[in-house]
Amino acid sequence: MTKETKLTLENLEETFQDDTRIKVAAVDIDGLLRGKIIHKEKFLQVAKSGFVFCSVIFGWDMQDKNYTTPMEFAGKDCQYFDLIAKIDLSSYRRIPWENNMPFFFVSLFHPNTGEPLYCCPRNVLKSAVDQFAELGITASCGVEFEFFCFNETTESLDGKGHSQLQPLTLGMCGYSVLRPLQNQDFYYNAFDWLKQFKVDIESWHTETGPGVFEAAIMYNDAKEMGDRATLFKTSMKQIGLKHKVMPSFMAKPYADQPGCSGHMHFSLKDANGDNNLFAIGEPSDIPNMTKNMQYFLAGVLLGLPSILAILAPTINSYKRLVENYWAPVSVSWGIDSRHSAVRVIAPPSTSPNATRLEMRVSGADINPHLALAAVLKCGYWGIQTKQSLPTGPSNSAVDVTNNERLSRTLQEATDVMDAKDSVARKVLGNAFIDHYVSTRRHEWILWQNAVTDYELKRYMELV
C-alpha cells in the first residue's frame, strides 16, 4: 500500500497482510488514551460494525479511582455497561517505536440510542468542526506544548515520593543550541519518529528552565489537530521511556518557575481552504481584523470564564495562572500581546494568510480535543449571534489588571461552568457539562481531602 492510498474497508486485509496485531484507543475525559492491542483477524471482523468498550473509562479518573460524584458511568447503581467503539479509518498511522504497529482511534457511541457519546472528547470536537462545516467553513488549529523532562522512571519517581527530581538538563537555557546535544538521541528521535507517526512537529526547542522543551505541532484542520495533540503527549511519554526520560505535562511542577503552557492557535478558512476568513471578508472597525474574526473573538472572551475548567482542568492548573509568571489571568485580548488571554496575530507582524488568534490561558495539562472544541464552539456562537467584544485591547501587563479576573481555583471555575445560564452550557450542551462538572468536583473533593504533597504525586507522571 503506497502512502497516497486511502485506507478503506475494501483494502484493509491487503494493507495488513503482514501484521498480526493492531492497537486501538479511545480518549478519556482527561485526554489519556485508553486502548488495547487486538488480533488482526478480530480487527477485520469489527472494522465496519465496531466493537464493545467498557464505559468505566468515563466512570473513573486518571488514576482509575471511581468518581465519587453523580454521573451515568459511576456510582452504586451503575452497571458499567458497554459502549460501542467505532474505528476511525482516517486516523490510521503506524507507531515507529513499536515496530511500526498499526494504530487507530475509536469514537464512542451510546448503546441505547446509537448516538455519539456526549462525553467522548473526539465526538465533542467533531461536533464543533461540523458546525463550521455547515457554514462552508473549515476550522484550522495549532497547538504548542511546554513540558519539563526528568531523568526519572515510574519507579524512581515513587521511590523519591514524587519530589527532588533530577531535571534532564540544568540551567535556564531557552532556545539553546547546546542543551539538546546532551540528550541528542531523545531530541532527534522524537522529532523524526513523530513525523513518521503523522504528528509532525513544526518547531522543537528548549524553553527557559531546567529540562524544559517546547514543541509546536504543525498547523492542521481542527479534528486532525485534536488527534495529533493528544497523540503528542502520549507519544512523548512513550519515546521518553525508550530513552530513560520522563516528560511531564503538569502545568506547574515548581512554585518558583514559570508553568507549562498549552497555547492553541485558531483560524477559519473557506470551504476550499483558499481564503483566511479572519483576514479576508467584511472588515471590522479594528485594523486587519474582519467582522468574522471580531465576532469569533467576542464569543471566546465572553465564554472564557465558563470554559476555564476545560482550559485549566486540574487543581495544579491554577498554580500556573498567577500574576508575574507569563500566564494570563483575566478576560483580555491584545494585538500581538503576550500579556493577554487571547493574542491577535495579524499584519503587519504576520501575513494575511497567517492571521489567527492564540489562546494563551490553556496549560500543557489540557485534554486537547475538549480544549479545542470549547474555544471553537464559543467562537461559532460569537459569529452566529454577532457578539460584541466585552473589552478593548490590552497593550501592557498593567492594562490587563483592569479586566475581569478569571477564577483562581478549579472549584470556582467549575461553579462558573455549572451556572444555569453559562456560555459553556449554551455551546457544549447540558449533557456534556453535567458530566464534566461532576468529574471536576470529584477532582476538587480529592484535593480537599489530600495531604500537601497531593499535586506532585497525582500529576507529575500522568497528566
* CA dist., res. 248 & res. 233, Å (int): 9
* CA dist., res. 202 & res. 216, Å (int): 5
Mode of pairing for the β-strands spanning 21-27 and 93-95: unpaired
pLDDT of residue 283: 95
pLDDT-derived band at 324 (thresholds 50, 70, 90) equals confident
pLDDT tens-place string over residues 353-371:
999 999 999 999 999 999 9
Average pLDDT over residues 87-106: 98
What pairs with residue 363 in β-bridges? Answer: 261
Look up cell 495549532; give the residue: 142
pLDDT tens-place string over residues 221-247:
999 999 999 999 999 999 999 999 999
* CA dist., res. 293 & res. 173, Å (int): 36
pLDDT-derived band at 3 (thresholds 50, 70, 90) equals low
pLDDT-derived band at 422 (thresholds 50, 70, 90) equals very high
Three cell numbers, residue 384: 452566529
pLDDT-derived band at 1 (thresholds 50, 70, 90) equals very low
Residue partners of 216: CB distance under 8 A and separation at least 6 = 142, 143, 144, 201, 202, 203, 204
pLDDT-derived band at 454 (thresholds 50, 70, 90) equals low
Look up cell 501592557; give the residue: 396
* CA dist., res. 298 & res. 138, Å (int): 19
Average pLDDT over residues 85-100: 98
Residue 2 clears pLDDT 60, i.e. is over it: no
> Is residue 113 within 8 Å of residue 245, measured between CB atoms?
no
Look up cell 533530577; give the residue: 166
Average pLDDT over residues 122-130: 98
* CA dist., res. 356 & res. 289, Å (int): 10
* CA dist., res. 231 & res. 225, Å (int): 10
* CA dist., res. 43 & res. 101, Å (int): 13
Q: Which residues of 205-227 are buried (b: 16+ CB within 10 A; e: fewer)?
A: bbbbbbbbbbbbbbbbebbbbbb
Three cell numbers, residue 442: 470529584
- Please state which of the ranges 93-97, 262-266, 386-390, 454-458 shows the lowest mean pLDDT: 454-458
Residue 144: phi, psi to the nearest 5? -120, 135
Residue partners of 22: CB distance under 8 A and separation at least 6 = 16, 37, 38, 39, 40, 43, 101, 102, 103, 104
CA atoms in the 13 A half-sphere facing the CB of 37:
7
Residue 123 clears pLDDT 60, i.e. is over it: yes
> Is residue 21 within 8 Å of residue 44, measured between CB atoms?
no
pLDDT tens-place string over residues 188-209:
999 999 999 999 999 999 999 9
Residue 93 clears pLDDT 90, i.e. is over it: yes
Residue 405 clears pLDDT 50, i.e. is over it: yes
Average pLDDT over residues 324-351: 92
* CA dist., res. 364 & res. 349, Å (int): 26
pLDDT tens-place string over residues 141-169:
999 999 999 999 999 999 998 889 999 99
User: What is the sign, positive or negative, of the torsion defined by CA atoms of 347, 353, 359, 363?
Assistant: negative
